[in-house]
């Protein structure tokens, strides 16, 4: 078993490596929405691990059982050498018993993390096809549930996307229905789930606490939109409260219909069987107060759920607008165009996978060979391709390797540079790379008369029909004499 101090050391090391891994993730540039999402989910996992290890460290430092203090005392007491050799003996005995046990260093985990390619599949599993890797909302099931609610306005899906958080437009008397409460909770749960998947680094609790604080302030002032009339509206009419059913009514007609219902008759009969035929005013007021408090609590719960959904819809505003645009675009497509779009998406996925497979690992920036892969490092060193050869005449262009440097004296860049200097690019200037040296050598050659200026009469060669080679002067003389 590892010692307490060793456990603390490992936890500190893991936290430091996790922090460095997070920095490495943010240094990398993301080119697409999916890459950004993969990075944020990976960083979120790292943060969860840091939190877990920090909690573990806190428990060790608290030392509730005194094990850490005992271990420190044993190491710093009078018998520290015997304690040291005792632990050394225990380690040697362990490795003697398990000589072939493999140990993977902690840093390898984070090195391998950058080479993992399975994160794409994990992200695809988080979202449905309609959500498009977190770019769009998928409210089809909730829209169907909303359409099936009684006494609510029926709308199409596109209108629902624009109005699903317009709760003040809904009739208040129908909001106490159990189906409506179930719909609200499922809508809230979906938006929370979608938010966690799309923005894993954002704190959902902070948004919820902010929404709750704003809601409580407005509720206390009676300014919650859509619930202004219900707040603090106590019905003083004693005729609209049913003692048997413990229920209050706002309309006389509804109350009269309730008195004739089977539910009321059954509740009243149950009271009579218990020997209760009437209640005094104190008991009546107490029952009525309990009902009013229960009603206020229920109203506050419904109103807070609606306010929370509106807050989530505000935070996810960009995804909401993109969803509406996507729905409108798909409506304008024909059946054939939809099939072509699906095929294009499949092709894009295959191409992106092939691009990932074609990425070549080349950290040393070695030149590519004939097969498109980096050449071996020994060949790179053999040819001296890591040695730089700058040439001032070529505009300070740098040639890598001796072979490329020797070849460039006959190439266009160096010839153009010499021509700009007004110096012929002859063999005398081979290995000359500085402009000052080139001018100095040119002046010396002109003073000694060793300039290799081109003379057509002696340097230009001609060949007769039999293959004999003459210079221009000799060839012209023989031709004039009719000998050729």
Helical residues (DSSP H) of 274-376, grouped into ranges: 281-315, 317-332, 335-358
- 338 or 49: which leads in pLDDT: 49
Instruction: With a cut of 50, say whether residue 316 has pLDDT above it.
Output: yes
Tens-place pLDDT, residues 238-251: 456 665 565 666 56
* Domain range summary for the chain, segments of one domain joined by +: 4-124, 137-228+235-357, 377-450
Q: Which residues pair with 22 in a beta bridge?
A: none
**CB contact at 8 A, 140 and 132:** no
Distance, in Å, from the CA atom of 179 to the CA atom of 184, rounded to the nearest integer, reads: 9
- Residue in the block written with tokens 């008397």: 173
Q: Of 36-45, 68-77, 257-266, 425-434, which range is least confident?
A: 257-266
The DSSP H or E segment spanning 389 is: strand 388-391
Distance, in Å, from the CA atom of 216 to the CA atom of 212, rounded to the nearest integer, reads: 6
Token couple for 377: 């490092």
Taking the whole predicted model, whether its pTM rises above 0.75 is answered as: no
pLDDT at 236 (0 to 100): 44
Distance, in Å, from the CA atom of 410 to the CA atom of 420, rounded to the nearest integer, reads: 15
Distance, in Å, from the CA atom of 170 to the CA atom of 179, rounded to the nearest integer, reads: 14
pLDDT at 394 (0 to 100): 93
Token couple for 375: 């050449």
pLDDT at 476 (0 to 100): 87
Tens-place pLDDT, residues 399-431: 988 888 998 998 889 989 998 998 888 888 889
Instruction: With a cut of 70, say whether residue 37 has pLDDT above it.
Output: yes
């Amino acid at each position: 078993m590892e010692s307490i101090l060793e456990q603390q050391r490992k936890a500190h090391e893991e936290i430091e490596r996790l922090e460095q891994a997070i920095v490495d993730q943010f240094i990398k540039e993301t080119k697409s929405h999916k890459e950004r999402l993969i990075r944020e989910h990976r960083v979120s996992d790292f943060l969860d691990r840091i939190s877990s290890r920090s909690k573990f460290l806190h428990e060790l430092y608290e030392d509730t059982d005194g094990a850490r203090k005992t271990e420190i005392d044993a190491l710093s007491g009078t018998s520290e050498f015997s304690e040291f050799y005792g632990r050394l003996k225990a380690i040697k005995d362990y490795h003697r018993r398990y000589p072939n046990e493999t140990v993977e260093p902690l840093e390898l985990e984070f090195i391998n993390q950058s080479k993992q390619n399975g994160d794409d599949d994990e992200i695809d599993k988080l979202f449905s096809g309609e959500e498009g890797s977190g770019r769009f909302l998928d409210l089809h099931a909730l829209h169907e549930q909303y359409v099936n609610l009684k006494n609510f306005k029926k709308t199409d899906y596109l209108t629902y996307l624009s109005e699903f958080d317009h709760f003040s437009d809904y009739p208040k008397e129908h909001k106490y229905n159990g189906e409506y409460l179930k719909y609200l909770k499922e809508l809230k749960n979906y938006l929370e789930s979608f938010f966690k998947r799309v923005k894993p680094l954002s704190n959902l609790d902070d948004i919820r606490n902010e929404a709750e604080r704003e809601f409580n302030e407005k509720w206390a002032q009676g300014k919650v939109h859509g619930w202004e009339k219900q707040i603090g509206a106590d019905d003083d009419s004693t005729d609209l409260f049913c003692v048997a059913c413990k229920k209050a009514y706002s309309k006389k007609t509804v109350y009269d219909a309730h008195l004739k219902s089977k539910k009321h008759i059954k509740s009243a009969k149950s009271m009579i069987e218990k020997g209760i035929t009437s209640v005094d005013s104190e008991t009546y007021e107490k029952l009525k107060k309990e009902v009013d408090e229960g009603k206020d609590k229920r109203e506050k719960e419904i109103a807070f759920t609606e306010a929370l959904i509106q807050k989530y819809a505000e935070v996810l505003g960009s995804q909401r607008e993109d969803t509406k645009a996507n729905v409108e675009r798909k409506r304008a497509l024909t059946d054939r165009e939809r099939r072509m779009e699906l095929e294009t998406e499949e092709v894009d996925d295959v191409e992106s996978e092939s691009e990932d497979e074609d990425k070549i690992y080349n950290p040393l920036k070695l030149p590519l060979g004939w097969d498109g892969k980096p050449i071996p490092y020994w060949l790179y060193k053999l040819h001296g391709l890591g040695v730089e050869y700058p040439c001032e005449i070529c505009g300070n262009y740098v040639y890598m390797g001796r072979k490329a440097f020797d070849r460039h004296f006959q190439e266009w860049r160096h010839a153009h540079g010499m021509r700009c200097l007004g110096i012929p690019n002859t063999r005398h200037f081979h290995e000359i790379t500085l402009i000052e040296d080139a001018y100095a050598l040119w002046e010396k050659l002109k003073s000694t008369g060793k300039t290799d200026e081109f003379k057509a009469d002696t340097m230009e060669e001609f060949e007769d029909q039999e293959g004999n080679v003459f210079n221009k002067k000799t060839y012209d003389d023989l031709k004039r004499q009719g000998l050729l």
